Amino acid sequence: MNDFDDWMQACLADVEAELGRHVIATAPAGLGEAMRYGVLDGGKRLRPLLVLAAARSVGGNPVAAMRAACSVELIHAYSLIHDDMPCMDNDVLRRGKPTVHVQFGEAQAMLAGDAMQALAFEVLTPAEGSDGDGDIAPPLQARLCGLLARASGVFGMAGGQAIDLAHVGKPMGETDLQDMHARKTGALLQASVLMGAACGETTPTQWQALSDYGAAIGLAFQVVDDILDVTQASETLGKTAGKDADRNKPTYVSLLGLDGARARARHLHGQAHEALQRAGLVDPTRLRCLADRLVERES
């Protein structure tokens, strides 16, 4: 596992440096400052790690993969900024810091999120003659943009958010709960794996297996989140604990009980391992370790 930790630490440092380069401080009228506050120096960077691990597992282009990793994290970070706003979850604490709208005001928070979504696609499509020109071949740029856009929109994250909003305080069956999470958090986690895979060569079988791996860990992530929301204190999580239960939001724990939710997480963990085996990758170690960490995490 030491090799994995070394790899992970190196990735985290690289991602941080790259994000710092893309999210420029000189963006006008404080916008850059709000964006940097929202995305730098915080978060587990699970999505970038998935992109980079998947790219490594298929011998993908590491420069393209790093751009893909940053683009996914920008989408994730923008979604957190918007979700925290008063008209959505009205959260004041995120990653142990005041949320972006608390720090910079609502208008700037909304704009910072909007600009970060655009930036995700800018990062994937370096301008001709720019520094990054040549980092990603144009057909790969197009493929990455398509995967990211579909994971972010009505079929993905935004659609899942809308379902979530519509169900606060209302009962929700397991099928609906799963559909909501598959879109809300699952789609972007799965896209992270597939964007990494797109940076290299895969057979259709490998692509499908990696897609299944992504779906399994995407759902496992949410089940573990729901478990941690009731078992951990706010200090450990870096955000307000127990908030979903307080708001009477449907969760895996409310639906299956704590033991049932834990069993579900183990089951999905097994599915992820099975899919990886089926993919027959040259080097699946990092993806396997990430699945393990994701299920065993305590925050």
Instruction: Tell me whether residue 96 or residue 171 sits nearer to its own copies (CB atom).
Output: 171
CB 268 within 8 A of CB 220: yes
Q: Which of 12, 93, 102, 149 binds its own copies (CB under 8 A)?
A: 149
DSSP reduced 3-state for 280: coil
> Which tokens belong to 75?
């989408």
Torsion of CA 18, 21, 22, 28, to 10 degrees: 160
> Which tokens belong to 169?
């305080």
Q: How far is the C-alpha of 265 from the C-alpha of 261, rounded, in Å?
A: 6
Q: Is 299 exposed, middle or buried (0-12, 13-18, 19+ CB in 10 A)?
A: exposed
> Which tokens belong to 211?
């897609």
Instruction: Tell me whether residue 179 or residue 274 sits nearer to its own copies (CB atom).
Output: 179
Cβ of residue 138: shortest distance to its own copies, in angstroms? 4
Q: Which of 118, 174, 260, 297 binds its own copies (CB under 8 A)?
A: 118
Q: Of residues 41-100, which lie at the interface with its own copies (CB under 8 A)?
A: 78-79, 82, 85, 87-88
φ, ψ of residue 295 in degrees (nearest 5) = -80, -30
> Which tokens belong to 244?
């979903």
Enumerate residues 6+ apart whose C-beta is below 8 A from 258. 227, 230, 231
Cβ of residue 241: shortest distance to its own copies, in angstroms? 23
By CB under 8 A, tell whether 187 contacts its own copies.
no
By CB under 8 A, tell whether 163 contacts its own copies.
yes
Q: What is the 3-state secondary structure (H, E, C) of 87-102?
A: CCCCCCEECCEECHHH
Cβ of residue 60: shortest distance to its own copies, in angstroms? 17
Cβ of residue 10: shortest distance to its own copies, in angstroms? 29
Q: Which of 6, 142, 173, 297 binds its own copies (CB under 8 A)?
A: 142
Cβ of residue 205: shortest distance to its own copies, in angstroms? 16
Q: How far is the C-alpha of 276 from the C-alpha of 126, rounded, in Å?
A: 32
Cβ of residue 159: shortest distance to its own copies, in angstroms? 5
* Per-residue DSSP letter, 284: -
By CB under 8 A, tell whether 119 contacts its own copies.
yes
Q: Which of 20, 42, 62, 146 binds its own copies (CB under 8 A)?
A: 146
Q: Which of 1, 24, 63, 263 binds its own copies (CB under 8 A)?
A: 24
By CB under 8 A, tell whether 40 contacts its own copies.
no
Contacts with its own copies, residue ranges (CB under 8 A): 24, 27-32, 35, 78-79, 82, 85, 87-88, 105-108, 110-111, 113-115, 117-122, 124-127, 138-139, 141-143, 145-146, 148-150, 152-154, 156-163, 165-167, 183
